[in-house]
Structure 1
Amino acid sequence: MFNEVKKSIQWGEETLTLETGKVARQADGTVIATLGETSVMANVTFAKQQKEGQDFFPLTVHYQEKYYAAGKVPGGFFKREARPTEKETLTARLIDRPIRPLFVEGFKNEVLVMCTVLSHDLVNDPDIVAMIAASAALTISGAPFMGPIAGARVGYEDGEYVLNPTCDDMHDLRNNPDQRLDLVVAGTKDAVMMVESEAYELTEAEMLGAVTFAHEQIQPVIDLIIDLAEDSAKEPFDFAAPDYSAIFEAVKAAGEDKVRAAYAITDKQERVAAVAAAKEEIKASLTEEQLADPSLGTALKKLESSVLRGSVVKEGKRIDGRALDQVRPILAEVGLLPRTHGSALFTRGETQGLVVTTLGTGDDEQMIDALTGTYKSNFLLHYNFPPYSVGEVGRVGSPGRREIGHGKLAWRALQAVLPAATDFPYTIRVVSEITESNGSSSMASVCGGSLSMMDAAVPLKAPVAGVAMGLVLEDDGSYAVLTDILGDEDHLGDMDFKVAGTENGITSLQMDIKVAGITPEIMEKALAQAKDGRMHILGEMNKALSAGRTEFSAHAPRIETMTVPTDKIREVIGSGGKVIREIVEVSGAKVDINDDGVIKIASPNNDSIQKAYDMIHAIVAEPEEGQVYKGKVVKIVDFGAFVNFFGKRDGLVHVSQIENRRLNHPSDVLKEGQEVYVKLLGFDDRGKVRLAMKMVDQETGAELPPEEKKKKEDAE
């Protein structure tokens, strides 16, 4: 009934298995990949005809994590997987980026790739397994895909690269000093296609070594996919790329000079208008038959690309006249918004980000429900890209894949320099509002985010800057690496290579390629050129704020941390939360208690924090023998007075310990409600407290020295 094909290899410390032919047989290609006990099913379907008038490649990649894969029931009211989580969105992008450039040029049929996590062993991350499964499914589907690709995750521990480290190793790098890298690399047999990383100030050489190591480690996986395809692949889809050379020559003859003149304009909006006008002039000179050619749009885009690329590689001339390694003019400002906790405006050429930092308490941490378990995050970075930033009218809705991806890239770049949560007990939220965009707004978010947090008095280990590198690679092997690319250089070039870091090293790296991969030589040159650009940008940022502020905004909460014994937590909370509600109400401070006994007290008012601290301390602390306390007389009896002296704790001052003279009755000198100073003498055999007043100066609360006690006794 089934024509199953299964192939396996030993990959690192686990067995990697690919199987097809048993499940989802009506899809064009289905592969279940298993690493350890983590299994992902990838299904590929593609339309056999192109939609009329289709002028782009409609590839859609979905990645879904099913909670049953880890033996869990989804949280929330509906108990069903709903909108994609951030992890699912980021993984879908991770798979999309290396496979998209490998479809045959001119193929514009609709393609759907669906990856579903079926089993998760909580050790091997499903994202790498999903990428391998998707590549294998595409390879056997018959689609015009020039793969296969494979992917691997690399860690860096004790100076050694680690293949596919565990989920636990990668969960919280900020609090894992032994692990300095979370790098994902995807590539073909011959070249690297995609890089994504979070790093802790690694050098350029260390990062290049990690990428090279990953590319070496994916080779047996590519061989495994080829082995699977030899036994199970479908016949290749009959597709011939359209020949648009004739229409391209006509377009080129009609308007190459016009397009070249338009691209000589440095202002983005004027250039866009001039390019559009040039295209209309070209169309006006074409015949009706040429206008009806379905490849006209492709030819026009190729003309734009050839004009830009030719001037860059042959003449070393960029659109805005800059040198290949030159960064656009930068202006950085901080403290723009009076009521926010920290703010910065970072402008680089025609790209600008308004970045705002808000400090919150433990209650503001984000709760994340993942397959690996539920955990909290105290650093959030949100990136917004409104239509007005590029001078367009567009629909505004919930964040899309691009916004989530760019925000995560900036998050990775900045989290490496954050203080430990034990040293800085705040929740940090950074929001980047992109107000202008013409290339690399994510790196503007990194620069602005660093300045904004410094303005908010977040004690960063070092400032972070980011720069986007581009590449123009010609068929003859000649190439040019561009620093700080414009939007058009990204759109019409061959690489988008973003590098962020401090003076000491790289904190994040992201590379996307539009050609069939790049060589180590090009990557090494790009990294070196990016370092020069990063140092320049850090110098410009330093002009706005050379060091983090030491004082919080008047509107930011102050947080005091104290630790209490875990067996005292119940007393602080009280029955039904009665005690802690009273503390919050009386002090005006916000109180957060975790299971380890760490209590965070937050308020913009220091007096409120101190009041709450004192109230909690009175509950959990134990009185110390020999110490003097201020108390209040709560009851007078024949043999002495009971004094409330430590929280709700009372003790007896025997009549003989009130004064250094004989009293007929304690009421001779004391009355209920009177405040007195008492010294804790100790506890009797039954645990009852023994207090004394006579050796304490009742005016100052200071314990009398022995000679003073003797004088008083003699005088009396």
Structure 2
Amino acid sequence: MIKKAELEIGGRNFVLETGRVARQASGSVIVRYGDTVVLVTAVSSKEIREGIDFLPLLVEYQEMYYAAGRIPGSYFRREIGRPSEKETVTARLIDRPLRPLFPKGYRYDTQIIATVLSVDPEIDPDVLAITGASAALHLSHIPFAGPVAGVRIGRVNGEFVVNPTTSEVRASDLNLVIAGTKEAICMVEGSAREVPEEVVLEALFLAHEEIKRLVAVQEELRAECGQPKMAFEEPQTDEALKKRLLDLFEADLREVITTPVKVERGRRRQELELKVLEQLGEEVSGREKEVLSLLKEIEKEMMRAMIAREKRRIDGRAFDEVRPISCEVGLLPRTHGSALFTRGETQVLVIVTLGSTQDEQRIEAPGGEVFKHFMLHYNFPPYCVGEVRPLRGPSRRDIGHGLLAERALLAVVPDQEEFPYTIRVVSEVLESNGSSSMATVCGGTLSLMDAGVPIKDMVAGVAMGLIKEDNQFYTLTDILGDEDHLGDMDFKVAGTDKGITALQMDIKITGVTREILSQALDQAREARRFILSKMREVISKPREALSAYAPRLTTIQISPNKIRDLIGPGGKTIKGIIAACEDVKIEVEDSGLVRIFAPNTEAAEKAIKMIREVTQEAEVGKLYLGRVTRITDFGAFVEIFPGTTGLIHISQMDKGRVRSVSDILKEGDEVLVKVIDIDRQGRIKLSRRAALEESMRRLREEKDEDSVDIT
């Protein structure tokens, strides 16, 4: 039976429908908003997966080209197997608010697939997919402590807009995706253009009011056609064994969690695990995984208690204290810009490369092609956390962290009209102990300035954490990896002195209050300003000159009528110039503006000269040394420069009467001529006689000057 539930949100109808399609899935809904339609299904396996200690949740999001009436441009004319960055990031947006709401110990393979069936270019499907995934789970038999919903908030001309269109987002200084339950916000992702913290906070709680309405619609739909939830009991903790572990190894655990150095802390933890299993021996035979899991649980409780009761962090810092910072720029001699940013035990090397517009990233999407002139790539190699694993390209996490840092910096990157280079930033994480994405933002700022990119302001980022115990909460500045893993929140905030440029929040509890968010944003602002002050000690403004190894950009203007001559048949002429000038890159706009990107000044000058020769136009009154290409009875045709020929009429051959052109000129002769006219059809009239007269006049003037008696 088909059931629908709908409400008006952001000026459009939001519709959830179930029972029409995909009825063999555990739960399925079609979400429609305007002309954008997304099918979301949820399926859970019938048997538990043994031998794992994590939730086996797989979230997939796919944008089909048919949804926009397009055929993919790939060789096979079908959607390629590897998801695009947009699909990867959206899958993460769906996953993050859902994952904490599954019951502890749920080990059934669960898959959510969101498929975009129809897309209105003005309505992004991502927030529809978040709400649709929640609705599919909520209607199914799968145990799930939802529902959740997602909305987007923009701000145009100082006014908030709920679920803004794509056009409104382009005009907005705020672009936030917020997910939450009816009780609280649980996920935030987005960017801003130096927006103050108070404005961001208002946007978050405006979003929450809309989220409550979307949650109510899902509850309404479940009341009509939801399935009974499967019986699932969370695994019971063996309290006796847990107490025995605490009694025997409390001192050892305290030694572990108070070891400030990450590598040393990890080594001691590993030694303790071996000690526990060896000491308990036969008593826990066959229960080794359970013992180690309980040990982690005790460690988590002890760390949280240490913060809540002793007001002490793992490394001894105050709650609002940033780890020691060091910055270096210009480390790599041949790159266009480089920086090393170290904060505690997190370290990133960030490199900037400048290229031409031909180096822009072309992204094919259902809505059409998109070109990016600024891109940031984040690499998290295994050695940065002391691990061994094969390199298999960027993970979902790498893509998500890179995009977050890219958003943070994009707010200050100059427009292409102002700085017509393609900019690629690469962050190599060399060490990681918390917030490598925010270190990437800091290192990215430094490397852009080292490269001479005229960024509008400096950007820094910091990750905030949370410990919530006994109705009390403690916000932690610049969290360590263990504080993230054992805590309740990871709230990354990046921005300038003026305001926020990007933020991302994930929580492991049911939600966070306005008070928590307000305090976290305030602490983040103070930390950000402290970090910026440290960065300014190393470099405070972009370098005035680009690296000697960066491409040199020169622009010249040619007549639009000459573009065809510059390109040549099949691109032959321009390819010849590129090949002759040390592989320069030449870009030609319809207006006749020519951009030349050259590896050095000599190559640029050579390319300019060759372009001028190809595209120059004859000027009336100017002398040219040309070559005779053809003789006729009425005159001679002379090529005054490549591709441009004029006629010397027989009457303009010489001062006196000329009986035959061949008496004066032959094919292949070089002859000095003067342009005396260019008619409406562009035909060039030349005169040898006028050229001779002007040459004689110049000679007389030079002779007169030389004969002046200076006394």
* TM-score normalised by structure 1 residue count: 0.90
Q: CA, structure 1 residues 285+636, in 2 after alignment: closer, same or farther (shift >3 Å)?
A: closer
What corresponds to 2:211 in structure 1? 218
Quote the offset at 1:59 in angstroms.
1.3
What corresponds to 1:200 in structure 2? 193
1:248 aligns with 2:231: no
1:369 aligns with 2:353: no
Q: Which of 343, 347, 351 is equivalent to 2:342?
A: 347
Matches of 2:572 and 2:220, distance apart in 1: 67
What corresponds to 1:54 in structure 2? 52
Q: CA, structure 1 residues 664+697, in 2 after alignment: closer, same or farther (shift >3 Å)?
A: closer
Q: Is the 8 A contact 1:346 1:352 kept in 2?
A: yes
1:480 aligns with 2:479: no
What corresponds to 2:36 in structure 1? 38
Q: Which of 37, 60, 63 is equivalent to 2:61?
A: 63
Q: Is the 8 A contact 1:695 1:709 kept in 2?
A: no
Q: Once the two structures are superposed, what CA deviation does each residue of 1:16-59 show, in whole Å capped at 9, x if it has no partner?
A: 11111121222211111111121111111223443333322211
Matches of 1:100 and 1:523, distance apart in 2: 21
What corresponds to 1:542 in structure 2? 536
What corresponds to 2:709 in structure 1? none
Quote the offset at 1:426 in angstroms.
1.5
- Counterpart amino acid of residue 341 in structure 2: F
Q: Which of 172, 180, 188 is equivalent to 2:181?
A: 188
Quote the offset at 1:537 in angstroms.
1.2
SS state at 2:554 partner: strand
What corresponds to 1:5 in structure 2? 3
Quote the offset at 1:687 in angstroms.
4.8
Q: Is the 8 A contact 1:341 1:359 kept in 2?
A: yes
What corresponds to 1:450 in structure 2? 445
Quote the offset at 1:539 in angstroms.
1.5
Q: Is the 8 A contact 2:651 2:658 kept in 1?
A: no
Q: Which of 357, 373, 389 is equivalent to 1:378?
A: 373
Q: Which of 163, 174, 179 is equivalent to 2:172?
A: 179
Quote the offset at 1:683 in angstroms.
2.6
Q: CA, structure 1 residues 640+445, in 2 after alignment: closer, same or farther (shift >3 Å)?
A: same
What corresponds to 1:634 in structure 2? 628
Matches of 1:63 and 1:357, distance apart in 2: 31
Q: How does 1:19-34 map to 2 (within 5 A)?
A: 19-34=17-32
- Counterpart amino acid of residue 275 in structure 2: E
Q: Is the 8 A contact 1:186 1:193 kept in 2?
A: yes
Q: Is the 8 A contact 2:560 2:590 kept in 1?
A: yes
SS state at 2:537 partner: helix
SS state at 1:374 partner: strand
What corresponds to 2:136 in structure 1? 137
Q: Which runs of 5+ in 1 are unaligned?
A: none
Total equivalences in the alignment: 698
SS state at 1:47 partner: strand
1:533 aligns with 2:531: no
- Counterpart amino acid of residue 162 in structure 1: V
SS state at 1:110 partner: strand
Q: How does 1:345-424 map to 2 (within 5 A)?
A: 345-424=340-419
SS state at 2:76 partner: coil
Q: CA, structure 1 residues 503+624, in 2 after alignment: closer, same or farther (shift >3 Å)?
A: farther
Matches of 2:51 and 2:579, distance apart in 1: 66
Quote the offset at 1:572 in angstroms.
2.4
Q: Is the 8 A contact 1:362 1:600 kept in 2?
A: no
Quote the offset at 1:249 in angstroms.
2.5
- Counterpart amino acid of residue 201 in structure 2: L
What corresponds to 2:602 in structure 1? 607
User: Which stretch of the first structure deviates more once superposed, 491-500 or 662-671?
Assistant: 662-671
What corresponds to 2:103 in structure 1? 104
SS state at 1:195 partner: strand
Matches of 1:528 and 1:155, distance apart in 2: 22
- Counterpart amino acid of residue 133 in structure 2: A
What corresponds to 1:237 in structure 2? 230
Q: Which of 564, 571, 588 is equivalent to 2:565?
A: 571
Q: CA, structure 1 residues 574+497, in 2 after alignment: closer, same or farther (shift >3 Å)?
A: same
Quote the offset at 1:538 in angstroms.
1.3
Q: Once the two structures are superposed, what CA deviation does each residue of 1:497-527 show, in whole Å capped at 9, x if it has no partner?
A: 1111122221110111111110111111111
Q: Which of 419, 428, 437 is equivalent to 2:423?
A: 428
Q: Is the 8 A contact 1:642 1:650 kept in 2?
A: yes
Q: How does 1:195-344 map to 2 (within 5 A)?
A: 195-244=188-237, 245-286=239-280, 288=282, 292=286, 295-344=290-339
What corresponds to 2:708 in structure 1? none
Q: How does 1:512-527 map to 2 (within 5 A)?
A: 512-527=506-521
Q: Which of 457, 465, 470 is equivalent to 1:462?
A: 457
User: Which stretch of the first structure deviates more once superposed, 400-409 or 641-650?
Assistant: 641-650
Q: Is the 8 A contact 1:631 1:643 kept in 2?
A: no
- Counterpart amino acid of residue 100 in structure 2: P
User: Which stretch of the first structure deviates more once superposed, 101-110 or 21-30?
Assistant: 101-110
- Counterpart amino acid of residue 153 in structure 1: R
* TM-score normalised by structure 2 residue count: 0.91
What corresponds to 2:547 in structure 1? 553
Q: Is the 8 A contact 1:50 1:110 kept in 2?
A: yes
Matches of 2:593 and 2:41, distance apart in 1: 48
Quote the offset at 1:406 in angstroms.
0.9
What corresponds to 1:120 in structure 2? 119
- Counterpart amino acid of residue 532 in structure 2: L
What corresponds to 1:160 in structure 2? 159
Q: Is the 8 A contact 1:65 1:116 kept in 2?
A: yes
Q: Is the 8 A contact 1:247 1:290 kept in 2?
A: no
Q: Is the 8 A contact 1:636 1:667 kept in 2?
A: no
User: Which stretch of the first structure deviates more once superposed, 420-429 or 285-294?
Assistant: 285-294
Quote the offset at 1:540 in angstroms.
1.4
Matches of 1:636 and 1:211, distance apart in 2: 78
Matches of 1:613 and 1:517, distance apart in 2: 62
Q: Is the 8 A contact 1:499 1:509 kept in 2?
A: yes
Matches of 1:685 and 1:435, distance apart in 2: 67
Quote the offset at 1:630 in angstroms.
4.5
Q: Is the 8 A contact 1:353 1:435 kept in 2?
A: yes
Q: Once the two structures are superposed, what CA deviation does each residue of 1:569-597 show, in whole Å capped at 9, x if it has no partner?
A: 33322221122122223334222335665
What corresponds to 1:80 in structure 2? 78
Matches of 1:140 and 1:590, distance apart in 2: 57
Quote the offset at 1:691 in angstroms.
4.8
1:508 aligns with 2:502: yes
- Counterpart amino acid of residue 194 in structure 1: M
Q: CA, structure 1 residues 459+673, in 2 after alignment: closer, same or farther (shift >3 Å)?
A: farther
Matches of 2:518 and 2:610, distance apart in 1: 60
SS state at 2:88 partner: helix
Q: Once the two structures are superposed, what CA deviation does each residue of 1:53-85 show, in whole Å capped at 9, x if it has no partner?
A: 332221111111122222222222122221111
Q: Is the 8 A contact 1:255 1:281 kept in 2?
A: no
What corresponds to 2:16 in structure 1? 18
Q: Percent identity?
A: 48
